[in-house]
Amino acid sequence: MKDKIKVGIIICNRYSVCAGGKCLKALHNREGAFSIYGEDEVELVGITSCGGCPGGNIEYAPEEMKKNGAQVIHLATGLVVGYPPCPRINYFRNFIKERYGMVVVIGTHPIPQKYLNVHNKLGTWDSPIWKEIIQPTLSDEKTRLSYD
């Protein structure tokens, strides 16, 4: 029997009206950061925004998701690819791990190619920490193009 993993997603407030299409596609197809689940069954138990800068909802949303059974929180790809990327993303990851004892994955869907192109030109992700952050959502070019 396959394991069932319950996840929550926190998106950047800039995208608070997002319908979640790319994240749900990636979850279904096990692409981007969701590739870590392989054949395991995954259930989405919550999705919300960070609450806007400086991320006030980060303090409360994971607790509600945990009450709904979430074992893993995904900080959505929008926090990584937005202009500018969220400067608090590492703090969010560390806070959720420390406060709620949950696994935190940075990313959901693969980085769309158009975002990769611009951020490469800007040098946004040239530092070692950003190279680490984007790794789970980098994917191959064909996959990135399918998320443009």
What CATH code is carried by the domain that includes residue 70?
3.40.50
Residue 3 has pLDDT above 90, yes or no: no
Look at residue 82 and tell me whether its pLDDT is greater than 80.
yes
pLDDT at 2: 66
Distance, in Å, from the CA atom of 63 to the CA atom of 66, rounded to the nearest integer, reads 5
Residue 49: its H or E element: strand 41-49
Average pLDDT, the chain: 96
Number of domains in the chain: 1
Q: What's the pLDDT at 48?
A: 96
Please check whether residue 80 is in contact with residue 134, taking contact to mean a CB–CB distance below 8 angstroms: yes
Cis peptide before 84 (omega within 30 of 0): yes
19-64 pLDDT, tens digit per residue, is: 999 999 999 999 999 999 999 999 999 999 999 999 999 999 999 9
pLDDT for 1:
47
Confidence band of 16 (pLDDT split at 50, 70, 90):
confident
Q: Are 87 and 114 in contact (CB under 8 A)?
A: no
Q: Which of 46, 56, 48, 42 is nearest to 16 (CA)?
A: 48
pLDDT per residue over 101-129, tens digit each? 999 999 999 999 999 999 999 999 999 99
Residue 44: exposed, middle, or buried by beta-carbon count in 10 A (0-12, 13-18, 19+)? middle
Query: CA angle, corner 31, sides to 71 and 75, nearest 5?
Result: 45
What is the rounded average pLDDT of the residues 83-92? 96
Domain containing residue 68: 4-146
Alpha carbon distance 58, 93 (integer Å): 9
